[in-house]
Each structure stands twice: as structure tokens, then as C-alpha cells.
Amino acid sequence: MESQRQKKIASVLQGDLVEVLQGAAREGGLRGVIISVSKVRVTVDLSIAKVYLSIFPIQQAQALMEGIASNAPLIKHELAKRTKHQLRRMPKLLFFLDDSLEYIDQIEHSLKHSENPIQNPDLLDKRKKSWLNFSFYIAKRYLFTKSKSKAINYITLIASIGIVVGTAALFIVLSGFAGLKAFSLEFTTLTDPDLKLFPKQTKTFFFSQAQSEQMAAIDGIASFSEIAEDQVLMRCDDKFLAVRLKGVDTHYPQGTIDSIVSYGDWMEPDLPQIVSGWDLSNTLGFKTYDITKTIRLYAPKPGTGQLMSIKDAFKSMKVVNVGIFQINDDLNNSLVFTGIENAKYLLGLPKSAVSAIEIITTETADTPQIIAALERLFEGQVVVKNRMQLNAALYKMLNTEQLAVYLIFTLILSIALFNIVGSIIMMILDKKRDLKTLFSMGATKQTIQRVFFAQGILMTVLGGLSGLLLGVVVILLQQHFELVMITSTLAYPVVLTWANVGIAFSTILVLGIIASRLASWRIKKVDFVA
């Protein structure tokens, strides 16, 4: 805000400078040159005066400005003689070219002649401009320039914050749920193979040595294990519990199991040993190598006819628990490992019979090709399932929950984004006078509509990117510093993926486009003629 003293000094300087400069031009032999002082700005301390000059014709402006700048001391001296009775001290003169008249002249020339970019948008390619650039420029000015109305500024700020927070929240939730999904599925990799063969109709099928050799020759199969499993009854002293007995051979991936065996060791396949779950051992009250406890496994005997006693109905085996594993609550309370020969004996299975075959594939394996080869090998008598099919219920539950969470947060985000509509409509009402000026200069309603559509897109993109950046920072902090804990030892799992980045940004962009389009349609109701 200029003081009255600054304005008075500027007025004095402006009047005398016109005479000095114009007189110098005449003395220098410059004919047809007009030099005018469009504006003078004096600093608060009155030490510097910024002089803005308009020169016609504009072609000579640059050369004249260089000459005036080099002769600034002489001009200051001449001006000091003229104002010695009005000013005690002459400020330093700094000269600048004011090209606003040229700019206005170019606009008028374009609008009045054939090169009117509003009527002929094809001309914009020649000028390396487009109406998109024009709309974007005006939208940028409206967005980043404070309005005279504080209410509009607050509404715009609230809308922008809503976009940032909404995008960050959506991305954080997706990353958190991806972490929970990975955490839940992590345990399936410990017990479930890449592929598993089941009999189609019966509980078991025969697996010959020739088939074993042919399976080993299939490209993409790293290893496979024969499995004999079924439900049995487990007894410790006077406690009983139904468990799933899983007999495995020496090819079973012990490295994976060894990583989850908390206490004790992995069993010896040729000995009557078992490895049980943590919850199961607590329920029945035994530990590893506990000689004070008698543990027996019972399985119903196959056959027909009348039973004469309970002993005739079950086959039993005395075993020793040598290890305790921890996987998840379900398996910890129901699963028991033993050697496959022990399981076959207890279940009454022939030597060549198996309940399943578990296969580990190579990293570069072609899974569909392997499945087709296995179906040909067993002549369609088995069913081949991958890990996802083995845990179909779990995958379906997780995917359903993820979709539900995404839809809920998208709904919340859409409500926040529709603040854009209110912000743009308020901006349209506030800038109605400016819009009338654009309309009078030849701009169509469609062009003006693009301005506010571009403003909404700008708000969405900038807010979305800021929200994503905030979300990424939060996820990285959680991964490295474990800010949120589920238990005292377990941090809330989060996963940072490009897929979630794309989903969050695409969602915010689509909703922003819809909101911006709805808001910009308000222009159709504005009367620019009245």
C-alpha cells in the first residue's frame, strides 16, 4: 500500500520525466517516436523510483531503452534541476519497458481481423497455443490466486484438504489390507504346496514307481512328496481329541517346516514319532519328548461285518511327540505330522496307495502345462489344484473384504470430492464479471466451461498426488518404525505396491472428473448478456 507521500513524489516525477525524455528524443533527431511514462513507483524509503515507459513504435523500444538506461545519470541530473523546489533528494531512477499497450494492441488486432483464435481455433497451432492451454492458464490463475471473498478461499482450502486426506486414507487402507492379506496367506506357503493331486472319487489312489519316474521327468517340477492323511483320534492319558494326521515322506520340504518348529525337532520318518501343533499339545497336556505321557493314535479299521469289541473297531499306535510347531490357530489345534509309513499302517493303506501328492514347482514353471501333463499321466483319475484353489474359501473371503473396504472408502472419498462442486460454483459466481469480459471478447460458454473443468482437474490431480505422497510416507514409516502394533511383538502389516498407487490415483481422478464436469455445467445457466 503506497503512502500519500510516495504517490505525490511519483506524480511529480512522472510529469517532468515525460518532458525530459520527449525533449531528448526531439533533440536527438528521433521523428515519429512517442515516449510516455505509464507508471512510476517509489519505494518506501524514497531512495528508488521505478519508471515504466511505453514506446511507440515498439520496434525501436529495445534500442531506446538501452540508450535511456546508459544516460540515467544525465536524466536524473536534468530532472533534479526541474524538481529542486519540490524534492529535497532525487531518488535513483530505474527504467523498465511497459509492453501492456503492445499486448492489448495484439489482442485487438487478433479479435478484429482474420486471425481471431476464438472464431478460428486452428490458428492456435501456429501460435503454439490451444484453448486447452488458455483454459489451463485461467484455471491456474483462479486456483492459486486468492479471492477477495474469504468464504471462497476457505471452501477451496477445505476441498483441497479433503482430496489430500481422502486419497491418503484410501491408499493407506488398501496398503494395510494388502499387508493383512499377505500376512494371512503367508501361512499357506508353509503347509500348502504349489500343486496338489487328489483322487477324483475315492480317498486314495495308487502311485506306481513308473509314474513316479515319469513325474520327476516333467519340466517345471522341482520335487514332490507322497502324502497319506486322514482324520484320527489322539489320546493322551485320559484326554481325547480328533486331529488330522498327515503322513509325509523324506522328500517333504523340511526346510519350510523346520522354520516353524518352535520346540523340539522334526520327526524321523522310520520311527513312531509325531510333530504336533502348539494349541493341540496344550489341550492334551504333553510336551516334546515327554516320557511321562502316553500318547496314542486311533484310526477306524476298514472292513465289514459285526464288531465284537471296541478294540476290534480301531487300530492304534503309540507315538512320541518330538516337536511342536506354530502356524495358525486352525492348524495349531488340529494338525499332526508323522512318517508316511506310520500313517499307512494306522490307516490300513496298501504300500503303493497315497492320499495325495504334493508338488513344488520351479520359479520359471509353466503351471498350466504341468497340470495338463499330470492329467495325462494319471489318465484323468486325479484332480490337480494350485495353492489358490487349495485355499479358495480364504482367497474369496479376503478378496470380498478388500472389495467391500474399497467401495466403502470410495463412497467416503466421493462425498469429500464433491466439495469441488461447491468450490467451483462459488468461484463461478465470484468471477461472473470477469467471465462477462471474456464472453464480450468472443469466448464461448464452452470455452469458459473448460476453464472451470480444468480448475477441478487441477485440484484433483494436485490433491491426489499430494495425498499419495502422504500415504507413501505413512506406509514407509510403518514398515521401518512399526508405529502401529497389533500385539506387543507384531506390527500392523502393510505392503507398498504400485497397483495400490494406481488404484488410488485412478479412483480419485475419475471422481474428480465427474465432480468437475458437474460443476462446470453451471456455466450454461449463467447469463452473460444481462
| pLDDT, tens digit (0-9, with 9 covering 90-100), for 235-267 | 998 899 999 999 999 888 865 666 778 899 998
> What 3-state class would DSSP assign to 1?
coil
- Ranges 22-36, 39-53, 175-189, 509-523: which has the least confidence: 22-36
Rg of the Cα trace of the chain? Answer: 42
Q: Please, what is the average pLDDT of the chain?
A: 85
Q: What is the mean pLDDT of residues 82-91?
A: 84
**13-27 pLDDT tens trace:** 888 887 888 777 777
Taking CA atoms, 488 is separated from 63, 263, 395, in Å, by 77, 22, 28
Contacts of 125 (CB under 8 A, 6+ apart): none
Residue 468 contacts residue 165 (beta carbons within 8 Å): no
Q: What is the pLDDT of residue 303?
A: 63
Tell me how far apart the alpha carbons of residues 241 and 281 are, in angstroms, rounded to a whole number.
10
Q: What is the mean pLDDT of residues 434-456?
A: 81
Q: What is the pLDDT of residue 103?
A: 54
Q: Which helix (H) or strand (E) holds 114?
A: none
pLDDT at 130 over 90: no
For the beta carbon of residue 247, count every other beta carbon within 10 angstroms.
26
Q: What is the mean pLDDT of residues 190-195?
A: 85
pLDDT tier for residue 9 given thresholds of 50, 70 and 90: confident
Compute the C-alpha angle 373/197/362, nearest 5°: 60
Q: What is the mean pLDDT of residues 487-516?
A: 92
Compute the C-alpha angle 360/179/163, nearest 5°: 145
Residue whose grid cell is 503309540: 318
Homologous superfamily (CATH) for 4-98: K homology (KH) domain (3.30.300.20)
For the beta carbon of residue 413, count every other beta carbon within 10 angstroms.
23
More confident residue, 316 or 127: 316
Residue 381 contacts residue 205 (beta carbons within 8 Å): yes
Percent of the chain with pLDDT strictly greater than 90: 42
Q: What is the pLDDT of residue 128?
A: 43
The upper half-sphere exposure of residue 344, i.e. CA atoms within 13 Å in the direction of its Cβ, equals: 20
Residue 324 contacts residue 300 (beta carbons within 8 Å): no
**346-375 pLDDT tens trace:** 999 999 999 999 999 998 999 999 999 999
Q: What is the pLDDT of residue 129?
A: 46
Domain boundaries, the chain: 4-98, 138-183+395-525, 193-390
Tell me how far apart the alpha carbons of residues 275 and 319 are, in angstroms, rounded to a whole number.
10
pLDDT tier for residue 423 given thresholds of 50, 70 and 90: confident
What's the sign of the alpha-carbon dihedral 402, 405, 410, 416?
negative
Taking CA atoms, 361 is separated from 15, 190, 220, 340, 374, in Å, by 91, 14, 6, 22, 13
Q: What is the pLDDT of residue 402?
A: 87
What's the sign of the alpha-carbon dihedral 399, 400, 404, 405?
negative
